[in-house]
Chains A and B, each alone.
Chain A
């Protein structure tokens, strides 16, 4: 920090470079913001980490007795995300293949703009649709009293990350030059063989990047999940029962941050969960960027 200030004051002494100083300050601020956010979260995680017997890694969450077990929330996040990816992954990939293979550029443009439209729907509106429709349908289909369960959240989340994954996967597949397809087809390969033998080897980095980004999005999604998951701080029983209510990290945060007192251990436990979530999503995104950029530089 002090060296940065020093270099700043140095350039300040040359009045000509006002533009440069402005740029340097902006750039520094942009980088600093990330550091400040992570630092703030770390600092506020302090209280719960310094206490003993908070049982952070147990399955029991009860602020009244000082138990802050995060396992149900972490499990819920991973479970819901997995359902979402199981839906969005195959559906998105197969649709991406269709779009990239179609001869009609008009159809492609139409689908692409429709997808952009979908990404523009705010999370809270997805939540409303979940509450008004999906919720009821799931309850009817499985004959449950309430449709606010992990499965509903997973399906809704799958629909939400579908456009992101689909667009990026389609980009990756389409970036394989046409000549490879033509050559493979001239060898008498079927389309599924062209895909498996020619497209996948070249597009797999891009598809993987798209998948990781979708996973990151799915883990970080709050509003829609919060409205349909049922907010139950227990592990489902049996463990992999998607018809049980649950809780994700994000839905927990959305529900309880407002209720917990600032500075309390309860608050600190929530912040710590948020810190864990951020670490995961940032890592996933940085890895996916690496994949996506590698794809670009190769073509």
Chain B
């Protein structure tokens, strides 16, 4: 990767353009990736390409390293004690370690929303402002950006009249959508979702699922879930993981057909029986 490339790429992000380099067909390329906690190997030798648009679901039982993988994509796992990885991850053509000496740059291009809705103890508006404050935007610009993001997150109609209310007063489902909207202000190319509906009631979950599908039309979304029905509703592409390895991956139609391998089919159908 040349310096020129890096610079042009950065400008691209800073101006928040929706364009993306034509030559890239995948937003994230993972190559020979292994993740460890101390000496414990959680993921071994994983290789995966994630499309530059659409929703990719990482599906699989708990404890198979889905979240760990996701948390390495924006290097938030660096903050965890004893966590390390080997292999290579490229986002939008850039290596997340070598090409980002400053991890903050990386995180501004890859949004992330966690399992538990986490709004900061301040107003809705200030929550939205959190990632923007340092761009030195004018008040009007900031307001426009925030309004745009809230609209994209389908939350604008619900909070337009209470932007100054404490964010904690929103319902849990709204809080989670606020978290998504908050990540969207930076106009990320990739959005990571770590079981975003796990702690939310079914009806609010559906609202978030609809939102995820809509966002998938413009950006690349990687979502960890172990909810099969949800995967069926939102995924364009499904990656089934077990014990730190990819068992099988493919389009939604493929994965939910009966042409999959035994292991996948068992997992998927058994869950169906439970539902």
Contact = CB atoms under 8 A, between A and B. Distances in A.
Nearest to A187: B131
A289 to B, nearest CB: 22
Contacts of A186: 74, 76, 107, 111-114, 183
A184 B81 contact: no
Main secondary structure on A side of the interface with B:
helix
B164 to A, nearest CB: 16
A105 B81 contact: yes
Interface string A248-283: 000000000000000000000000000000000000
B130 A197 contact: yes
B81 A188 contact: no
Interface residues of B, number: 30
A130 to B, nearest CB: 39
Nearest to B110: A186
Interface string B124-135: 000000110110
A30 interface: no
Interface string A101-121: 001110000000000000000
A183 interface: yes
Interface in B106-127: 106-109, 111-114, 116, 118, 120-122
Nearest to A193: B134
Interface residues of A, number: 20
A104 B116 CA distance: 25
Given A179-B116, A189-B104, 15 more contacts: A103-B82, A179-B114, A182-B76, A183-B114, A183-B118, A183-B179, A184-B130, A185-B76, A186-B114, A187-B111, A187-B130, A188-B105, A188-B107, A188-B186, A198-B130
Interface of B: 74, 76, 78-82, 104-109, 111-114, 116, 118, 120-122, 130-131, 133-134, 179, 182-183, 186
Interface of A: 103-105, 179-190, 193, 197-198, 201-202
